Chains A and B, each alone.
Chain A
Amino acid sequence: MLEVNGIYKNFGDLQVLKGVHLNVEKGEVVSIIGVSGSGKSTLLRCMNLLEEPTFGEVWMEGRLMTPVDPYLHEDVIRASNTFKKLVADGMNDTDAIHKIKDEDLLKEKRKGAEGAEYAALMQKIYDENHIDINLGRQKMGMVFQNFNLFNNKTVKENITLAPVKIGKQRLKAAKKRGEKTVKTPADIEAEANARAMQLLERIGLQDKADVYPSTLSGGQRQRVAIIRALAMDPDVMLFDEPTSALDPEMVGEVLDLIKDLVRSGMTSVIVTHEMGFAKEVSDRVIFMHDGVIAEEGTPDQVFNHTKNPRCKEFLSKVLY
């Protein structure tokens, strides 16, 4: 459902991600653990392109959100002038492809350098699969470590802003295409408001609908942030250390809400330092080290039977 393919991410000279493949299935709950600086948060942020991967592709429900990465498509490499030249120089096919991949030989930066066949194939793959980045993001809810509620909006406005704006955009687009629409902008607002109140009731904060986020506690803010993401009816939720900025006594209420969500079948990717939580809710645990996935498996496999020395060392240092 959500697939990242061969993701590399460089910040200047610093390589944070060094080739990560991850496929999250529908309904699956994936926890990502690891020491600070191992690239867990960067990986999560690459999934909805808050960070643009340097190489690699992100696929959401079979649609491509990033540009095409030629190194992931053998047919594209075969169409390139560089490949043709290597083969003409007497190298065999497999070696040429490996050499191109390993040494980053495609000169795609200069347009047309790899020939018309290459360019046409790249364009074809892009046109067939690409989805607008904003459309992709509408299907992914993101929860941040620092909540990031909109300070200039009330709690209810925080929740309704995106559904209302995007609902109206869709309405406008439908009208432009000449489709008959039954809904009016007022209907969209009314629906969003009703949904917001329903969500607020779910977390027991309906009496806070009209206050500003600055008056809420950390735990309340994070719970509002979670239902703000839910208001877009996402197909997958991304949690970026959702409890790391909370006071200890508020961690529980946020974890309970996430647990609740996960149990209702929400596909989730959770970057967390709460090992007990990861062990309890995950279908799959991923241990990241130094920009790659170093260990991966069921919670039992990773927490109790790992063979990976880095993972063992990490788990021995954290209490859970």
Chain B
Amino acid sequence: MTLGSFLTNIINIMAKYWQVFLLRGIGYTLLLSIIAVAGGAFFGSIFALLKRSRIVVFKAIISAIVSVVRGTPMLLQLYIGVFVFPMIIPKLASLPYIYSVTIVLIINSSAYVSEIIRSGIEAVDPGQMEAARSLGLTQHTAMLSIVLPQAIKNILPALGNEFIMVVKETSLASTFFVGELMTSYLLVKGNTYLTMECLFIVGVLYFALTFILSKGLAAWERRMKAHA
């Protein structure tokens, strides 16, 4: 295999299958990542607040979820999710795997994000909460208007990293052929038998995706910093 034929093959593959890679592959990868991170940020915040609450039962449940998610491989979680969720929610059985996969990704991301948010909240000077409470604001209001905004600003870099991690982790979902970028690789390789070329294309696309994301997040961070 010469470099020339390698490049020609890539061009030919892209000419024929660009929709599979660029539209379906990247589309699903981004869709899964955004849902996972958005869901993760939402449920992660709730997890973090519950874990800081005084109610011991909540604390224990959240700690258990976080420990299990962080202590087992993502791939195993996906397998379990794909087999177990349809048993719990019968409706899922008739739907494509992507629904169960999305739920697993959200739970996984929630666990990691909750730890990030918890550390962010703990990094905010306790004096901020005290000052708010001393003015007669409720715990709830003080948390929402003073502590959380500062915590979120502190953890933006870590959240950005989590987003990039999720983008890469969605590749594991290709085990269930849900249509994201790694699934595109499996599809096109199956049709063309050109393994190296397809891997190269997918690799470049993943890199481009995460590179643009990290640059975009860095710019956003700079803007957030400039505003305080």
Are chains A and B native binding partners rather than an unrelated pairing?
A: yes
Q: Chain A residues in contact with chain B, CB under 8 A? A: 48, 50, 134-138, 140-142, 144, 146, 148-153, 161-162, 165-166, 212, 214, 225, 228-229, 232
Judge whether B134 is part of the interface by a CB distance below 8 angstroms: yes
Knowing A152-B146, A214-B228, the reply to whether A165 touches B131 (Cβ < 8 A) is no
Indicate if the CB atoms of B134 and A150 lie closer than 8 Å.
Answer: no
Indicate if the CB atoms of A148 and B130 lie closer than 8 Å.
Answer: yes
Indicate if the CB atoms of A152 and B228 lie closer than 8 Å.
Answer: yes
Question: Closest chain B residue to A140 by CB distance?
Answer: B134
Indicate if the CB atoms of A151 and B135 lie closer than 8 Å.
Answer: no
Indicate if the CB atoms of B134 and A48 lie closer than 8 Å.
Answer: yes
Starting from the known contacts A137-B133, A144-B127, 9 additional A-B residue pairs (CB-CB under 8 Å) come to A138-B135, A142-B131, A142-B134, A144-B130, A148-B130, A151-B150, A162-B132, A162-B135, A165-B145
Interface residues on B, range: 10 to 19
Judge whether B52 is part of the interface by a CB distance below 8 angstroms: no
Interface residues of B in 88-138 (CB under 8 A from A): 125, 127-128, 130-138
Query: Contact mask B43-67 → A, CB, 8 Å, 1/0?
Result: 0000000000000000000000000
Q: Nearest chain B CB to A31's CB is how many angstroms away? A: 20
Report the bound CA distance from A232 to B134 in whole Å.
Answer: 11
Question: Closest chain B residue to A45 by CB distance?
Answer: B130
Question: Closest chain B residue to A153 by CB distance?
Answer: B146
Report the bound CA distance from A3 to B220 in whole Å.
Answer: 51
Judge whether B141 is part of the interface by a CB distance below 8 angstroms: yes
Q: Nearest chain B CB to A61's CB is how many angstroms away? A: 14
Indicate if the CB atoms of B149 and A50 lie closer than 8 Å.
Answer: no
Question: Closest chain A residue to B148 by CB distance?
Answer: A152
Indicate if the CB atoms of B135 and A150 lie closer than 8 Å.
Answer: no
Could you list 23 examples of A-B contacts with CB < 8 Å?
A: A48-B134, A50-B130, A50-B134, A136-B136, A137-B134, A137-B136, A138-B136, A141-B134, A142-B135, A149-B131, A150-B132, A150-B146, A151-B128, A152-B146, A161-B137, A161-B145, A162-B135, A162-B137, A165-B145, A214-B228, A228-B135, A232-B135, A232-B136
| CB-defined contacts of A153 to chain B, threshold 8 Å | 146
